[in-house]
Chain A
């Protein structure tokens, strides 16, 4: 039995609009890709137990849409939806991402898989749009962003 990886997903803010999450799995990349993209799998693992997703639609092709929905223990419906923009089986998926109720804007989710010795690492970057100047953000100068953000977060942590 391999080591327990529970709780090891890390989330960090990597730029003014991007949140990156990484997690390793003791499974081959093909299996991880299937588990993340086939409705019969997603239905089982995506929502918190014991309620499975009551909506789990995945049209895995460029331009195809996905929609997941489940009921939170408090009773309200949680729903994710989006459209696939790029699919490179089994290493990469780019899709729009919208969590209904938060926030208004759609984000772009890029999910990449790499495999090393039977361990698959998933890197997921959620990039939130800026209404005014998305172009400026990602073509422009990005220096110091990570540092300043870390500093600000540390500062907040101290004050919390």
Chain B
């Protein structure tokens, strides 16, 4: 199977607590780097590094306004993750439903076995 690089990239992009915090801050709206630095109390180079990664996978978009660069969330890029969770849940549901049926069958057989034994005794 060929995996989607975009899926993997989004997973990796959000698999970092700081980047998750930056996304969290950007949920509130478009912001310049300085405002994110202030909000999270981490260094500007750190914030810039994370914003670069988030931009690379498309989770964050950037536009220049005068001398400022404003960053905003592009959450449609989280869709691969959402789709993965939905698929995973569906796959697990089907698998666990089969386990459920199987457990019911095992218990039915056990009951039948013990009834048969009682019958023979």
Contact = CB atoms under 8 A, between A and B. Distances in A.
Nearest to A102: B3
B17 interface: yes
Interface of A: 5-13, 16-17, 19, 21, 23, 25-27, 31-32, 35-36, 41, 44-46, 48-49, 76, 100-104, 122, 128, 130-133, 136-137, 140-142, 144-145, 147-149, 151-153, 155-157, 159-160
Interface in B79-115: 79, 81-82, 85, 88-89, 92-104, 106-107
B78 interface: yes
A128 B89 contact: no
B110 to A, nearest CB: 8
Interface residues of B, number: 41
Nearest to A137: B17
B99 A25 contact: yes
B88 A128 contact: no
B20 A23 contact: no
B82 A145 contact: no
A32 B96 contact: no
